[in-house]
Amino acid sequence: MKKTFILVLCLSMFIGQRSVLAKPMEIEEKLFQETLQQSKNVTGLLTDEYGNPIIGATILVKGTTQGVISDINGRFSIRVAVGETLSFSFIGYENVEKKVTSETEVFNIRMIEESTSLKDVVIVGFGKQKKASVVGAISSVKPESFKLPTSSLSASLAGRMSGVIAVQRSGEPGGDGADFWIRGIGTNGANSAPLILLDGVEISSGDLNDIQPDDIQSFSILKDASATALYGVRGANGVMIVTTKEGATNEKISVKARLENSWSMPSYHLDMVDGPTYMRMYNEALKNDDPNTSPMYSEDRIQGTIKGLNKYIYPNVDWQKEIFKNVTMNQRANINISGGSKIASYYVSAGIYRDTGIMKNISQGSFNNNIDNKRYNFQANINANVTKTTKVSLKLSTVIDDKNSPVVSAADTYRNIIQKTNPVNFPIMFPAGSGPLGNETNILYGNMSFNGATFVNPYAELAKGYSTTFSSTVISTFELKQDLSMLAKGLSARALFSYKNWNTAKTDRSTVPFYYQISKYNPTDYTYTLEKIGTTGSDYLSFSKANNGDRTIYWEAAIDYQRLFGKNNITAMLLYNQRQYNPAFPSSLFDAVPYRTTGLAGRFTYAYDERYFAEFNFGYNGTENFIKDRQFGFFPSIALGYSISNEDFFKPLRSVVTALKIRGSYGLVGNDKIAGARFPYLTEISLGTGPNYHYGENMNTWYSGITFTRIGNEQAKWEVGYKANVGIDMEILGSLNLTIDYFTERRTGIFQQPATLPSSMGFGSTIPYYNLGEVKNSGIDASFTYNKAVNKDFTISLLGNIVYAHNKIIKDQYPEQIYSNLSHIGHPINSIYGLTASGLYGTQEEIDHGPVQQYGSGPKIGDIKYVDITSQVDGKNIVNDNDKHVIGSPTVPEITYGFGGTIRYKKFDFGIFFQGVARTSFILSAGNMAPFGRWNANVAQWIADDYWSESNPNPKAQYPRLSAIGNENNHQNSTYWLRDGSFLKLKSLEFGYSMKYLRFYVNGTNLLTFSNFKLWDPEMGGNGYYQYPTQRVFNIGIQFNFN
C-alpha cells in the first residue's frame, strides 16, 4: 500500500512537472506562428548607377545566414519577417540596408559603386571581378580620360594607363593614331601587338581609333598571364578590353550631347633656307668636292634674287608657305540617348567627326586637294528580359569613313619639298599667256629639264588631283544569357555570336601637269621666253580605283558558376569559342583559305573570407598553322593573392593603411603568327616557272620545270611565353591608392629564318621558318590615384603612372659573330647599330694617321671621324661596317610615364596632364637630310646655322662638310647623328564650368614640349624631318545632360 501511494505521488509530480515545462514551449510555438503570419515575401530589383541589373548580389536577413542571390535580371525574392532588416551587398558596391515594414512589398535598390579603387569592379577576361579579389595584373582608366580633341582614341593612351607604352609618329588626320604595346615588346617575331576587344569581339587598332569616347563604359588592360591565358594564342602580348554603355531598366529617358570646335596647328615648323643662302651654300659644296670647279650660281643671279628683280627669272620660293597654312579647324559632335522600361533597356548614339589638313586648296579645278576626313559613328545597344531568367542583348556598331585627300600623300609632299626641290630652280608657275604659243589654256607650271627628265614641282604634284576613300565597318553582336539556378544555385549560361564586316573603296583622279622652263631671257628688261619640257600634260582627270575588305565571324558559349558558402566564395567558367576571318580580295591561294582559330578557356577562383585568393586559368587553343599533331597548345596560369589588411592583427593599422594586398601569378601564353606566311609546314612550288628542260633531235623542244617558292618545316610549333608577375595594391587614408608590379617574360621558339645556310643544303632563298628566337622582357609598372573632398565645394583628384620595360635578345637566327659588337644577343629589340664618331676631321694629318675609313672615296677635312673598335679582333686599322655596334637606347621607349590631376571648386573645374618618355633614341637619317645631290635638295635652316666650313672649322659643328654630290662617309649611322628621344609634354590642359544641364569647357593638347632635341617633336623620332607634323590643338566645347 505504501509503495502504491509513493508510485501515485511520483506520477503526479511528474505529470505536474511536464505541465510546467510545456507552457514555455507552447508560448514559443505560438510566437513562431504569429511571426510566420507577420512575415511576407519581398521582391525587388538591384541596379547600378546606370540602371544595369546587378547579377549575383547577396541579399541577407541581417544577423542571420538566411539569404538569396539576385538573378540574371538583377531581381530577387525572399521571405522575411516584418521588422527585420535586409542587407544588400555586391563586390565593388556600397552595402545597402533596408528595414521591412508591414507596407513593404518591393525594394528597387540602386547600388552605388564604392569610392576606393581597391573596391572597384574591373573587367577581366570574359567577365568582371571586384578589384579586391583580383590577383592578376589589370589596369583600368576612366573613359573621361579619352575625351581629348582628337579623332583617334589611341592618341590618348600614352601616360594614362599603367603598363602601356605608346608613341604618336604623325599628326596627319586619319593617320595620327599611336603605336602602342603592353609592357613593351616581348618578341622580335611577327606579332607584338596586343589583342583588342570591343564588347567581347576582336577588332583592329584602326577600329579602336574609331571608337567614340562618349560610348565607352569601361577600358581595361590585361597584362599578366593570369589575366591573358584565357585568350591563349590571341592574348600573348596583352589584352585591351573596351565595353560600351548600355541603357537602364525602369529608367526615364536620358539625353546627352557634346559639341566641339578646335583649331589645329603644327607643333613645330622646320625652317628651310632662302634662295640666296641656298645658292651660296651650293657653290661652297661644289668647291669642297672640287676646288677647280666653277660655281653653279653666279653672283649676278644671287644678287638678282636678293633684290627680287623678277620672281620668274630669279625665283625664291618658300614651298612650305605656298602649300601649307598655319591653322585649320575641326569639329566633333555626339548625341546619345538611353533609358528603359521594365523589361527592356536601350542606349543609342550618333557622332560626326570632321578633321581637315593644313594643306591649302590650291587646285585650279572644282575639287579640293586638302585632307578632309568625315567620320560617322552609330551605336545601338538593346537589352531585353525575355523571361525572369532569360536575357538577350543586341549591339550594333557602325563606323563610316569618308575621306578626301591629295592624290600625292602628305608625307610625300613634305618629302618633295625637302628632298626633291629647292627655292631657286624654278617658280611655282608662270603667268597665263606667257607660254610658247601665247594662248595655252593649261596652267604653266615651272620646272627644269635635266638630261631629258624633269624635277619635282611639289605645288603641281599636290594640285594635280585628289583621292576619295570610303570605308565602312559594321559589327553586330547578339548575346543570350540564361539563369540556370533552377538546376543549381549560382549556375548560368551564355552564348555570343558576332559578325564584323569591313569594306573600303579608294578612287584616285588626277591630271598630268604641263611643265615649262625659261629658254632665254633679257637681263635688261627681264623679258623671257618659255619652252615646254617633260612629258605631254593633260587637263583631263584620269581615273583609277582599288577595293579591299574582310569579314569575321566569331561565336562563343560559356557556362558560369558563382556561389557563396559562408566565407567561401567560388566562381568557375568554361568557355568555347571559334573565329573565322576571310579577306574579301585574297591575293594568293593560301590567302583565299579562311583563317580559323578555335579554343577552350576555363577559369576557377576561390576566395576565403576576403583574405585569401586563388585563381586558375587556362586556354586550350587550336591553329591551322601547324601539322595535325602540333595544332593545339595548352596555356595554363595560376595566381594567388593575400589581403593582409583584412586580417584581425592588421586592425590597428587600418586607420592609416586602409587596404593592403599582395599577389603573384605565373603562366604560359602562345603565339602562332609568322611574318608573311601561313601554313609554314607546307612546301609551295610554282609550275612552269623553273629552268627549261630541252630534248629532241635538235634540242629545240623543252618543258619548263618547277620553282620552289617556299620550303616547309613540319617541326614548326607554338611560340611560347613564360610570364611571371608580383604585385602589391595599397590604399592609404582612404584617399591614396598605390599599385606596383614587377613582371618578367621569357618568350621562346620565336619564328625566324636562319640568316646563313650553306648553299649545299639546296635551300637557295627559300629558307623555311624555325623556332629559333628567344627574348626576355622584364620591368616595373606602377600607378597612383588620390581623391580627396576637402569640403562640399572643393575636391582634388591626382593620378600618375609609369612603366619601365626592358627586353633583350637571348637567341636569334644569326650564327656566332666573329665581331661580337655585331651580335644582337644581349641587346634590346629595335636597337640602333652605328659607328662611334669622334668629331670632324680638322687636318689632313688626322686623316693620314688615322684608320682607313672605307666609305666612298674616303674622308676629307670636315668629314666625320670614326673610331676603329675592332682593331683588337682583326688587327686591321680600318673602319667599315664591322665596326658598327649598338648605340643609344632603342627606338621604342623603355620608360613611359604620365601625371596630372583635376581640381573642382563649386561649378568650376581645372585639369592638367603631363606625359613623357625616357630611355629612347633615334637617328637623324643623314642620307635623307643631305642637301643638294641628284635632286638639288633643299637645305634646312639648322644646317645653315652650324655646319663645318673653312670659315667655321668647328670639329663639333652640327653638320659636317657640305658636298654637292653626296658623301657616303658622312651618311653612315653613327653617334654623330644619334639623338636622345626623351621628352616631357604638357599633354592636355582644361578649364570647365558646369551649370544644371550644361558644361562649357576649353582645352588644349600638345601645348608644351620639354626636350634636349629642338628641331621637331621628338615623339616623331627620326620621321620628323619629312612627315606630317604632330598637332597642337586648342578646343572649345559644350556638353548637355538632360535626364
Q: What pLDDT score does 560 carry?
A: 95
Q: What pLDDT score does 16 carry?
A: 43
Q: What pLDDT score does 114 carry?
A: 61
Q: Which residue has the cell 548600355?
A: 246
Residue 715 is assigned to a structural domain of this protein: no
CATH number of the domain at 104, please.
Answer: 2.60.40.1120
One domain for residues 218 and 234: yes
Do residues 139 and 118 touch, judged by C-beta distance below 8 A? Answer: no
pLDDT in tens, 509-545: 999 999 999 999 998 899 999 999 988 899 898 999 9
State what percent of residues in the chain have pLDDT above 70.
93
Bridge partners, 642 (sequence order):
612, 662
Query: Do strands 390-406 and 372-385 pair parallel, antiparallel, or not at all (unpaired)?
Result: antiparallel
> Looking at 146-150, 498-502, 608-612, 984-988, which range is the least confident one?
146-150
One domain for residues 3 and 44: no
Of 499, 522, 556, which residue sits at a domain end? 556
Q: What pLDDT score does 19 carry?
A: 40
One domain for residues 383 and 474: yes
One domain for residues 138 and 46: no
Helix crossing, 299-307 with 275-289: angle to 10°? 160
Q: What pLDDT score does 132 carry?
A: 62
One domain for residues 80 and 160: no
Select the more confidently predicted residue: 206 or 23: 206
Residue 564 clears pLDDT 80, i.e. is over it: yes
CATH number of the domain at 238, please.
Answer: 2.170.130.10
Q: What pLDDT score does 463 carry?
A: 93
Residues whose CB is less than 8 angstroms from the CB of residue 892 and which lie 6 or more positions away in sequence, other chains included: 165, 167, 179, 181, 184, 185, 829, 830, 920
One domain for residues 398 and 487: yes
Residue 28 clears pLDDT 50, i.e. is over it: no
Q: What pLDDT score does 121 carry?
A: 63
The mean per-residue pLDDT over the stretch 390-403 comes to 96
Residue 37 clears pLDDT 60, i.e. is over it: no
One domain for residues 100 and 208: no
Select the more confidently predicted residue: 668 or 789: 668
Q: What pLDDT score does 224 carry?
A: 86
Residue 536 is assigned to a structural domain of this protein: yes
Of 236, 257, 278, which residue sits at a domain end? 257
One domain for residues 25 and 48: no
Sign of CA dihedral 974, 977, 983, 989: negative
| Gap between the Cα atoms of 1020 and 860, Å rounded | 33
Q: What pLDDT score does 276 carry?
A: 97
pLDDT in tens, 898-921: 999 999 999 999 999 999 999 999
Residue 48 is assigned to a structural domain of this protein: yes
The mean per-residue pLDDT over the stretch 255-276 comes to 95
Residue 49 clears pLDDT 50, i.e. is over it: yes
Residue 473 is assigned to a structural domain of this protein: yes
| Gap between the Cα atoms of 282 and 49, Å rounded | 70
- Cell numbers describing residue 974: 653613327
Q: What pLDDT score does 552 carry?
A: 96
Do residues 852 and 877 touch, judged by C-beta distance below 8 A? Answer: yes
Residues whose CB is less than 8 angstroms from the CB of residue 445 and which lie 6 or more positions away in sequence, other chains included: 428, 429, 430, 457, 459, 460, 513, 514, 515, 516
Residue 779 clears pLDDT 70, i.e. is over it: yes
Q: What pLDDT score does 8 carry?
A: 37
| Gap between the Cα atoms of 867 and 874, Å rounded | 14
| Gap between the Cα atoms of 1012 and 986, Å rounded | 15
Q: How far is CA 903 from CA 118, 539, 658, 988, in A?
A: 22, 59, 24, 14
Residue 770 is assigned to a structural domain of this protein: no
- Cell numbers describing residue 522: 633679257
The mean per-residue pLDDT over the stretch 982-1009 comes to 94
The model's confidence at residue 91, banded by pLDDT at 50, 70 and 90, is low
Calculate the average pLDDT of the chain. Answer: 88
Residue 825 is assigned to a structural domain of this protein: no
Of 57, 89, 110, which residue sits at a domain end? 110
Do residues 471 and 502 touch, judged by C-beta distance below 8 A? Answer: yes
Residue 875 is assigned to a structural domain of this protein: yes
State what percent of residues in the chain have pLDDT above 90.
61
Q: What pLDDT score does 759 carry?
A: 65
- Report the domain count for the chain: 5
The model's confidence at residue 475, banded by pLDDT at 50, 70 and 90, is very high
Contacts by residues 580-585 (CB-CB < 8 Å, ≥ 24 positions apart): 580/552, 580/553, 580/554, 581/550, 581/551, 581/552, 582/550, 582/551, 582/552, 583/549, 583/550, 584/503, 584/547, 584/548, 584/549, 584/550, 584/551, 585/547, 585/548, 585/549
Overall size of the chain counted in residues:
1043
One domain for residues 427 and 500: yes
The mean per-residue pLDDT over the stretch 326-342 comes to 94
One domain for residues 99 and 193: no
Q: What pLDDT score does 30 carry?
A: 47
| Gap between the Cα atoms of 506 and 470, Å rounded | 6
Residue 1009 is assigned to a structural domain of this protein: no
Q: Is 705 exposed, middle or buried (0-12, 13-18, 19+ CB in 10 A)?
A: middle
One domain for residues 97 and 185: no
Domain of 93, in residue numbers: 40-110
The model's confidence at residue 798, banded by pLDDT at 50, 70 and 90, is very high
How many C-alpha atoms does 887 have within 13 Å on its Cβ side? 20
pLDDT in tens, 875-905: 899 999 999 999 999 999 999 999 999 999 9
One domain for residues 16 and 67: no
| Gap between the Cα atoms of 102 and 87, Å rounded | 18
pLDDT in tens, 93-146: 778 888 888 777 788 888 876 644 444 666 666 666 665 667 778 888 887 777
